Amino acid sequence: SPFREMLSRTYNWLVRNALRTHFSDAQCGFKAVSRAAVQHLVPQVQDESWFFDTELLTLAEKQGFRIADIAVAWDEDDDSRVKIVSTAWDDIKGIWRVRRTVRAAQPGPALVSTGRRT
């Protein structure tokens, strides 16, 4: 529906801009993950709900794992039970939490030695 299309595009825009990611869609579609990636990444993921996919993909991208977007045909389920307002609010909180986590993990400027002792 146009409403779901707008929600999806807005969410993915927010993820790309707030988290500086490059994958095209965080929630729809399939995720195929190697065992090594799962063992490394899943213990770092804090969310156990709808935001899990976004957090997993963001951590994977930031830690150098290869991510490939492959288009799939998707049919909308008119009988969806997603609570849009509470899910959206939880996702926004998750985005800000992951943003803080990713920023804290980024290395700061390298200290350059002058070769002198002080």
Please enumerate, as own/partner, the contacts of 64-73 that have beta carbons within 8 Å and a separation of 24 or more: 65/37, 65/41, 67/22, 67/23, 69/23, 69/24, 69/25, 70/29, 72/29, 72/30
Task: State both tokens at 15.
Answer: 């993820």
3-state secondary structure 85-113: HHHHHHHHHHHHHHHHHHHHHCCCCCCCC
Sign of the C-alpha dihedral computed for residues 82, 42, 89 and 12 taken in this order: negative
What are the catalytic residues? Answer: 53
